[in-house]
Structure 1
Amino acid sequence: MQKNYPRREFIKKSALAGAGVTIGAMGLSAKSYAAIPGANERLNLAVIGIHGQGQTHINNWCSLKSSRNIRVKTLCDADEQWFDSRAKIVVDKTGEKPLTEWDMRKVFDDKEIDAVSIAMPNHWHALGAIWACQAGKHVYVEKPASHDVWEGRKMIEAARKYNRRMQVGFQNRSISNVMEAMKFLHNGGIGDVFMARGLCIKPRDSFGIAKDSAPPATLHYDRWLGPATYRPYNEKKGHYNWHWFWDTGNGDTGNQGPHQFDIARWGLNKNEHPVSVYSHGGVYGIDPKECAQETPNTQTSIFKYEDGKMLEFETRGRYSNAESSLDIRIGNMFYGTEGYLELNGSTWKAFRRREEKPFAGSQKSADVKKPVDPLTPPGGTEHYANFIDAIRSDHNNDLHCDINEGFFSSSLPLLANISYRLSRELKFMGGSRDNEKFVNDAEADAMLTRVYRPPYVVPNEV
């Protein structure tokens, strides 16, 4: 990939670069924001992968048009069938018609594009992000950050080498109540937190089975398949269903799960890999003759850190009760020496020892009026806005989920899936980037990366 750098390095020249703070934290009005040197320079974005979660990306970026002075210039997808409907969203929301392109390399070659928003299938995240950095683009990338552990490390190397901001889509990092709960835990609110638990209770029915066939005329199948091992096109292994096949996805433990893995690790305050992992489960309640799913729909994973602290994760893809007093299905619990905390979405409650009523939580402060960022529209755009603010400030530390954070959280479900596939407990060495291997286990080490299909290869040297 040719190394092109963005048009006009206005970001480094802005007043915010010197201040080292984010726009939202400054509490500026849209008029005041526009007066900042550099802020008047519009930021051009491209969304790569516009089906499914990509549509969410489009809506959020369009909502930030005025408050963050951005433009969705290009929509890119290997399947052209989405072009008209997604372009209409941009036109309706911003009044501007975006370009459409199926070849992401042409997007990277466009010197007017400052940043890309990646919502492609998991197996494309790393290579797409690395190519973008090499072309001088900043990157917002969906979770999990990468499809395997090794290529996640390469994403960090690329972001640092080319000095690009790279934000991972763990949106909870930008939700005020979640941030408040994490601060409460880190400040000893329930004593020493020794265990975190994450839940992904998301019942899913069989998606059926089909014979291999010719791909639709709108789909550039070789490009869609990208780094994955070649396989004939099959409609049941394509759009969205790619999540349930190892070459392209990571199951629900690596789909919905990464959000709650991130919160669990965040609450434990662990900026490191675990030293052991054991994961087991299977596909239950679905006839394998009627569904080709490879990944488990029910999975239990247990991690231990060097100091003995634990992280448990439960994936349930069939019928199930919720857990805790908050009826958590997608959420977290934390256990400390003086009590426990429940977190469901942005609602949290903390209980002291055996007491039945919470003594702290988001509901306790519901009547307190908190400062509102006048530049951030409602509707979950805070994490996207933070990415733009960090581009303008030119500081990785302003990102709520820099690629380094996203990498450690994404690695947890990836390690769990290796243990599941090998049907045994694994010992892991994660002290440094040169030590991200299993203990005397070549079979497990081989699963930290993949055999890439040329020319879609993540290079050793980015």
Structure 2
Amino acid sequence: MKRRYFLPAVAAGLNAVRSAAASDRVNVAVIGVRGRGRALTGGFAKLADANVEYLVDVDDRVVPAALAVLEKAGRKPPKVVRDMRRVFDDKSIDAVVIATPDHWHAPAAIMACDAGKDVYLEKPCSHNIREGRLIVEAARRSQRIVQHGTQARSREITRQAIDYIHSGKIGKVVMAKAWDVQRRADIGHKNDSPVPAEVDYDTWIGPAQPMPFNENRFHYTWHWNWNFGTGDAGNDGAHQIDMARWALGVEVPTEAAGMGAKLFFEDDQQTPDTINATFRYPGKMLMFELRIWNPYGMEATENGVAVYGGDGMVQIAKWDRLWGYKVFDEKGKLVKHEQSPGEDEAHVRNFLECVKSRKAPNAEIEIGFQSVVHCHLANIVARTGRAVRYDAKNDSVTGDPEAAKLTRRTYRDHWSKPRGV
């Protein structure tokens, strides 16, 4: 294990960093309650040792659905605020869930850590590579637990698949493939429009560059705009890349190559709808394929991972709405197929247990950062049309000044601008 990966809170046995006793309930605030935030609100509401004390969102219209989730679970109504700083200032809050758009992930997580809060952070952990390292540094200096939202790390059936691969039963493993092949919507073209009265748009923009309000750069469709999102490489690709990297037993690549472009959709999306990227490590390779205009998937599934060994292959994916894995022998014959239910619950539970025990969570932030580096490099390769070399020691692209600029971003003068940028 590399020195900088080792969690200081574990090494020091800092069970006392949390003011409450380990047996107490963990008080949680959810920041961003549409989509994943609403789902995670429900996940924490199912846990008897968690209290959802705050819902935070800049769009008043999305709050009622999240409140209904808590009401259905029999939980008391939480405080509802627009400004996340209210949560960071509240000493009764132990942990925050960050499910904002990508451009807010790192700034919010860094502020939360510096305010003494543990963090459950949705993927991708950052909008760019530099921000990802800053989150790791914030977690270390504040001795905070930060769980990355790549749930496969806590999914028992996936852990079984990884153990099978690492056991040597498919022989020497030198290559894996991750794919994100599904049909996304054509978002068409929309004109800029007035900001809805219920939305604090200035706070929604946060540290990003100001842009006029546009529905095609707002709820969910922000994923496809470079100012706010990371495309589907960061959106869904983060999950598959994380599993493939885990199976290979690698950290970050030395090189990334390939190509990507917007080939299919003729709409307001900026990010690629097609990517084919290859990552190289000493003695190993990982391929990532993205096609978000595909209605028919690959290997009978939309998103998945194939791990290739000298004596067989393992596929990890969701088939018929159940996660599982398939094992093929050296002749390509299916010899094992295991499936099991399981989504977010185990990952949320793991985070909560680590908040109380101060042990490193299954998707500790450096693990998440290493996976998300691949997403950013895939996008850099797509945007530049060139292979790039990656220096893991300095978290940088070398020998290509244009590509190196894409490892960072320009921030506007805002209270959320991260330290160290």
TM norm structure 1: 0.84
Q: Partners in 1 of 2:276 and 2:222 — Cα distance?
A: 22
- How far 1:315 moved relative to its partner? 0.8
Larger mean CA deviation between 242-251 and 438-447 belongs to: 438-447
Instruction: Say whether the 8 Å CA contact 2:45–2:75 is kept in structure 1.
Output: no
For residues 211-360 of structure 1, what are the structure 2 equivalents within 5 Å? 211-270=191-250, 272-287=251-266, 291-305=267-281, 307-324=282-299, 327-345=300-318, 346-358=323-335, 360=336
Give the AA of the match of 1:12. Answer: N
Conserved in 1, the CA contact under 8 Å of 2:260 and 2:383? no
Partner residue of 1:389?
353
C-alpha deviation, 1:279, in angstroms: 3.3
Query: For residues 214 and 392 of structure 1, what CA distance do their matches in structure 2 show?
Result: 45
Counterpart pick for 1:457 among 413, 417, 421: 417
Deviations 1:291-349 (A, max 9, x none): 211001111111111x131111111111354333xx13211101111111111132112
Cα offset, 1:53, TM superposition: 1.0
Q: CA deviation at 1:39?
A: 4.3
> Which of the residues 27, 31, 39 maps onto 1:48?
31
Instruction: State the SS of the aligned residue for 2:235.
Output: coil
1:443 maps to what in 2? 402
Matches of 2:61 and 2:106, distance apart in 1: 24
Residue 415 (structure 1) aligns with:
377
For residue 458 of structure 1, give the secondary structure of its aligned residue in structure 2.
coil
1:116 Cα offset (Å): 0.1
1:138 counterpart (97, 100, 118): 118
Partner amino acid, structure 1, of 2:304? G
Distance, in Å, in 1 between the alignment partners of 2:294 and 2:130 is 35
1:356/1:452 CA distance change after superposition, 3 Å: same
Contact 2:255 2:280 in 1 (8 A): yes
Question: What pairs up with 1:58-207 in 2 under 5 angstroms?
Answer: 58-64=41-47, 66=48, 69-207=49-187
Partner secondary structure for residue 219 of structure 1: coil
What whole-Å deviation, never above 9, does each CA across 1:141-191 have from its counterpart, x for those lacking one? 000111101110010000010011000000011111100111111121211
Distance change >3 Å, CA 13–CA 273, structure 1 → 2:
closer
CA contact (8 A) 1:299 1:315 kept: yes
Q: Residues 113 and 119 of structure 2 are in contact (CA less than 8 Å); yes or no, is this contact kept in structure 1?
A: yes
Alpha-carbon separation, structure 2, partners of 1:403 and 1:446: 23
Q: Distance in 2 between matches of 1:177 and 1:95?
A: 31
C-alpha separation in 2, matches of 1:279 and 1:55: 36
Q: Does the 8 A contact of 2:265 with 2:273 survive in 1? A: no
Asked if the contact 1:123–1:228 (Cα under 8 Å) also holds between the matched residues in 2, the reply is: yes
Does the aligned pair in 1 maintain the 2:324–2:338 contact within 8 Å? yes
DSSP 3-state at the match of 1:284: coil
Letter in 2 for 1:301: A
Cα distance per residue 1:38-90 (max 9 Å; x no partner): 344221100000011111111101111x1xx1100000011111223322221
Q: Is the 8 A contact 2:181 2:298 kept in 1?
A: no
Residue in structure 1 matched with residue 4 of structure 2 by the alignment:
none
* CA deviation profile, 1:92-135 (whole Å, cap 9, x unmatched): 21330111000001111111110000000001000100000111
Q: Where do 5+ consecutive residues of structure 2 fail to align?
A: 1-13
- Tell me which protein shows more strand as a share of its residues: 2
CA distance in 1 between partners of 2:298 and 2:66 (Å): 38
**Residue type at the aligned position of 1:335:** Y
Q: Structure 2 CA distance, aligned partners of 1:429 and 1:40?
A: 43
Per the alignment, residue 8 of structure 1 pairs with none
Distance 2:233 2:343 in 1: 26
- Larger C-alpha radius of gyration, 1 or 2? 1
- Percent of pairs identical after alignment? 37
Q: 1:357 to 1:286 in 2, by over 3 A?
A: closer
- Paired with 2:170 and 2:345, the residues of 1 have a C-alpha distance of 31
SS in 1 for 2:283: coil
Which secondary structure state, in structure 2, belongs to the residue aligned with residue 350 of structure 1?
A: strand
Residue identity matched to 2:256 = V
Equivalent residues in 2 for 1:362-377, closer than 5 Å: 362=338
- Report if the CA contact (8 A) 1:343-1:349 is conserved: yes
Residues in 2 aligned to 1:405 and 1:13: alpha-carbon distance in whole angstroms:
25
* Number of aligned positions between the proteins: 402
For residue 276 of structure 1, report the CA deviation from its aligned partner: 1.0
Contact residue 55 and residue 86 of structure 1 kept, 8 A: yes
Secondary structure of the residue that 2:272 maps to in structure 1?
coil
Q: In 1, distance between residues paired with 2:255 and 2:297?
A: 28
Unmatched runs of 5 consecutive residues or more in structure 1: 1-10, 18-36, 367-376
